[in-house]
Structure 1
């Protein structure tokens, strides 16, 4: 039993491994991509080489122009633009704003108030006190006149115009409508039907002639123009167009590829030039600044600038003390002159208000009023 069990497990493992082996599948085909022909493969590499040789200088010049444009924008154009904007505001905007705010608006408000007082208020008073009563009187008179005229016109319409109108309608019906109806029924309608039948026949004849001529012209045009043009398109223009389309697509792809490769080349050249500029110019300037100018600056600061600053502070301190003593002397002399001319001013006498002096406080057994004071 123990010997057969490992053998059975090994056979089951082989079966599982045999089941898990994936079947070979065909390589995936990208959707929407047509299989390339030998013509595209043949012209791709030469076109890409030629385009790369032509595009690399253009890309390097383009990158150089972009860098120069960014530098000029950051260093020249943007500050100059801000200065021109500030100058334009100072010259054009702010004076007009000040003129509008402190000149036009107050004058407009004053003119509006003056117009309201001199024009609107009198017109409102005239409308309320004069025009409104006159208008009411005119409306009342017009209403009564309109009522009288309406009553007169109603009487005229009912007793004169209505009988005359009925008579005119009866006369027109007997003299015009009945003869016109008879003329239309027995003369105009038959003549119109005959003319319509003749017109239909003429139209059919013309359409038949036009249809025959059109068919003849159609077959002549098809044989002489359409079939040769179709053969030219199918056997000449379409193949040439396919070849030109392949060439154009390859040239476009080559341009994109060459532009990207030229970008990498331009980036590498730019980095090389940047590194060369740093090692040729920046690093020596930095070394001179750190090794020469900084120690010299420290020596100048410690040996010259600090003593000069200390001396300047001492001079300033002495000057402030001299000015303070001069102000005290002038103040004392002015006080002496005032005492000599006007005498010593009298000091105000303290008034006893019955309040405890110092920090003493009131208690229930003491009083500070004049009536209860001991």
Structure 2
């Protein structure tokens, strides 16, 4: 659990009130702000809203950095971030605002009051699921609803015994077998001991194949940044091959110059990055991502030029994350805190009505709480 460093929970009220500090409001004034400061304010407000949505509702209280005697709107960038959070254009379904002199309040309703409802609606609100999948040649991030359906289907799939004659639900793809990946035209290149610089490969990117050029600067950091989304996406789909050192437009082998990284370091960095990917099992398996890394020599005019890194990834039985999901909760004892991967998954798919998680109930009227808070400030 990680406690939020810049959101404070007010202790003097019976309900949840998060103080978000000084915030510039109004479209005109927000457009004049330093872009980094504006982004930080937007993130702070969105994370506070996420925490309250997931915790039964409450109030975000803030002091206006730009004092105004006239009513102001919150600003289009803040509005848009809240819309993206709830995945709806109807802000009024979850939020109300009120200005009291230089104090500004956003009343946040409970996520469980979602007007869309239904079994397809995620049980909690998230800024990012940290789940992705392959779609043709692209890696696509799963939004909360897509992640919820993905996890629900994975959970449903493990209920079917391997000895059961019934086929699993049509929406759940069977695991891609080892032989399927080996029948892919990329397998021959993956098995190669050496390749020629400038050699053109006879296949293109697809759902199962991704090409990446090496960054000649900061090679190790580039690998660490490239692997999480690509490897987790392959594992969450049907497996595939990641070739680092191939130009995706010309399909030619470029490799990485041997002066920039050695063979052992290249493999070690790739393996370490994959080992850090968080996984969640609905089944009894405790396995991590199943993959194989090969470092292939790249020659130029008969001499060793550098290396190509090739990774073959098997489809994973359950869920592989590229990092910890970004979602927040709040209570008066813990403050505003983030969920770890296991907590997030359980709350997304396991927790239903009558379960043991408790949420504070917003009981005081919004009008009364705003006035009371303004008087004390």
Question: Does TM, normalized by the shorter one, top 0.5?
Answer: no
More helix by share: 1
Query: Which TM-score tier does this pair reach, normalised by the shorter chain?
Result: under 0.3
User: Which of 1 and 2 has greater Rg?
Assistant: 1
TM-score by length of 1: 0.14
TM-score by length of 2: 0.14
More strand by share: 2
